[in-house]
Amino acid sequence: MATKLAGKKMLIAGEWEEKEDKIEVFNPENNELIDSVPAAKADDVRRAITLAKKGADVAADLSVRQRMDILNKTASYIEGNLEDFATTIALEGSKTINEARSEAARAAETIRLSAEEARRLKGESINFDQMPGNEDRMGYYFRFPVGVIAAITPFNDPLNLVAHKLGPAIAAGNAIIVKPATETPLSALKLAEAFMKSGLPKKILTVITGRGRDIGDSLIESKDVHMISFTGGLETGEKISKKAGLKKLSMELGSNSPAIVRRDADIELAAEATVSGAFAAAGQNCLSVQRIYVEEEAYDAFKELFLEKVKDVKTGNKLSESTDMGPLINEKEAMRIENWVNEAVDQGGTLLSGGTRDGAHYEPTVLEKVPEKAKVVKEEVFGPVVLLFKVKDLDEAIDRANNVNYGLQAGIFTSNINAALKASKKLHTGGVMINDSSDFRIDAMPFGGVKGSGLGREGVEFAVREMSEERIVCFKITE
Ligand code: NAP
């Protein structure tokens, strides 16, 4: 499939740079070399940060209208080159072409929303005279940019998750240094190209390609970086938090999301939504459905329907229009998942479907009767594996849903308003979807987790808030 890939160079403060040292980018489906990108080192990061400090002034001085124009042009550029963006996502990552098209369209939407949020950056007046002795004072606060933001992003949504950092950062008037996942750097470089072609002044944007273990520390520990916006795994997030020191942190981490199916649920709807939520992007999605708690009266009917629908998930070549589920990001990940499933079976779990691997492909896999201590229950599988549990009632379902170290989103299927309300109050997650699975998001809603799922919220309006700060201005009237 022909596409203009984006490698060879990285963008340092608005200038395209090459390096002799390269990182090769492979198509995970067949291990074919598709491109290469520079392997940046700590010196490159330090230089990028020095330039970004100047970029922060340039970005802050852009008027809201200029920011909006650049963001709107970038969104239109993505829309005008949608197939090219989609093919890049599908080639370097593990999404199917249909999933990649939907991600590219969402990235354009995220950038357009950022343009709209730039318009809505505002403060308010403060009544200083509420405190006796301050009758001669008046003033207001406004939002100003935090300065230099470092954004570190994962492989699984290589374009839209970068857009979720870049759009709000620019809307709020910051300079930004993006370090994309080493496995999938090309979509981020393409987005950088879109910004540069849309008139983003030099110095504001860097997309630096290099391994986290080589360049992460120099980015994270720098006192000239004022905020780290990270999306990735819990383990990496914890390492970064420990090293970051005194700076703003936004942590969008993983999960092992629950779904609850009540006896009064629409079972057809519940099965449809949870199958899609478990196997979209081969389960490599922070919102993937991993644990399904079904009330005992509905268990057998739900299980039968669920397994029927799993049979319809068409696996295979990710670039084929008819494929529903592609490979994992690499064979090593597929082998890890295979081990976790085997371990769950050894511990007493029953395999209902799947459980087989072919290279980086792993079949949609369903288990039941898995003990709580198993890794597939406690940890994030990040693969096409889902567990069914029979529970007595809603209280048991909520207790077990909460009994993990994650809390991003949850879903509950019920026609009982009281059950829905109770779940929305008692589930320890950043979001609760009623009559849908955890795997629902629009780019304009607050998005983030509790416990090991993260800190802070993304979703454009909320990210703009995190990427700006309030500055108070107070006038003392002297006459
Ligand atoms: P990851 O291994 O944590 O990597 C994420 C990013 O961190 C990559 O750019 C990686 O660079 C970098 N990194 C790794 N070690 C680093 C270090 N010591 N210092 C600085 N940076 C470092 O995660 P992943 O496997 O790419 O992505 C999957 C995870 O992301 C899952 O847990 C998933 O749930 C989570 N996720 C969360 C959300 C959300 O919004 N909550 C969305 C999507 C994904 P290299 O590639 O060079 O190692």
Quick one: which atom of ligand 1 is closest to the CA of 179?
9
Task: Measure 180 CA to ligand 1 centroid, in angstroms.
Answer: 9
Task: Measure 233 CA to ligand 1 centroid, in angstroms.
Answer: 5
Does the C-beta of 452 come closer than 6 Å to ligand 1? no
Mean pLDDT value of segment 72-78: 98
Nearest CA residue ID for atom 48, ligand 1: 212
Mean pLDDT value of segment 258-276: 98
Average model confidence (pLDDT) across the chain = 97
Quick one: which atom of ligand 1 is closest to the CA of 447?
40
Does the C-beta of 302 come closer than 6 Å to ligand 1? no
**pTM value surpassing 0.85:** yes
Share of the chain above pLDDT 90, in %: 98
Task: Measure 220 CA to ligand 1 centroid, in angstroms.
Answer: 14
Strand-strand pairing, 10-12 and 15-17: antiparallel
List of residues 6+ apart from 332 with CB closer than 8 A:
none
User: What's the pLDDT score for residue 2?
Assistant: 47
Question: Which residues belong to the active site?
Answer: 252, 286
Choosing among 3.30.565.10, 3.60.20.10, 3.40.1710.10, 3.40.605.10, the CATH entry for 10-253+453-473 is: 3.40.605.10
Nearest CA residue ID for atom 8, ligand 1: 181
Does the C-beta of 215 come closer than 6 Å to ligand 1? no
Mean pLDDT value of segment 164-193: 98
pLDDT tens for residues 362-405? Answer: 999 999 999 999 999 999 999 999 999 999 999 999 999 999 99
pLDDT tens for residues 194-230? Answer: 999 999 999 999 999 999 999 999 999 999 999 999 9
Q: Do 257-442 and 10-253+453-473 fall under one CATH topology?
A: no
pLDDT tens for residues 301-344? Answer: 999 999 999 999 999 999 999 999 999 999 999 999 999 999 99
Report the CATH fold assignment for 257-442.
Answer: Aldehyde Dehydrogenase; Chain A, domain 2 (3.40.309)
184 neighbors 90 (Cβ within 8 angstroms): no
User: What's the pLDDT score for residue 76?
Assistant: 98
Task: Measure 66 CA to ligand 1 centroid, in angstroms.
Answer: 32
Quick one: which atom of ligand 1 is closest to the CA of 211?
47
pLDDT tens for residues 110-164? Answer: 999 999 999 999 999 999 999 999 999 999 999 999 999 999 999 999 999 999 9
- Confidence category of residue 4, pLDDT binned at 50, 70, 90: low
- H or E stretch at 392: none
pLDDT at residue 105 is higher than 90: yes
Quick one: which atom of ligand 1 is closest to the CA of 252?
41
List of residues 6+ apart from 30 with CB closer than 8 A:
none
Choose among 458, 398, 463, 386: nearest CA to 427: 398
Q: For residues 323 and 325, give the distance between their C-alpha atoms in angstroms, rounded to a whole number.
A: 6
Query: What ranges do the domains of the chain cover?
Result: 10-253+453-473, 257-442
Nearest CA residue ID for atom 12, ligand 1: 212
Task: Measure 153 CA to ligand 1 centroid, in angstroms.
Answer: 6
Q: For residues 39 and 407, give the distance between their C-alpha atoms in angstroms, rounded to a whole number.
A: 35
pLDDT at residue 1 is higher than 50: no
Mean pLDDT value of segment 461-468: 98
Mean pLDDT value of segment 280-294: 98
Does the C-beta of 229 come closer than 6 Å to ligand 1? no
Q: For residues 100 and 182, give the distance between their C-alpha atoms in angstroms, rounded to a whole number.
A: 18
Does the C-beta of 231 come closer than 6 Å to ligand 1? yes
User: What's the pLDDT score for residue 8?
Assistant: 81
User: Distance from CA of residue 138 to its chain's centroid?
Assistant: 42
Nearest CA residue ID for atom 39, ligand 1: 252
Mean pLDDT value of segment 435-445: 97
- Torsion 175-35-16-202 (CA) sign: negative
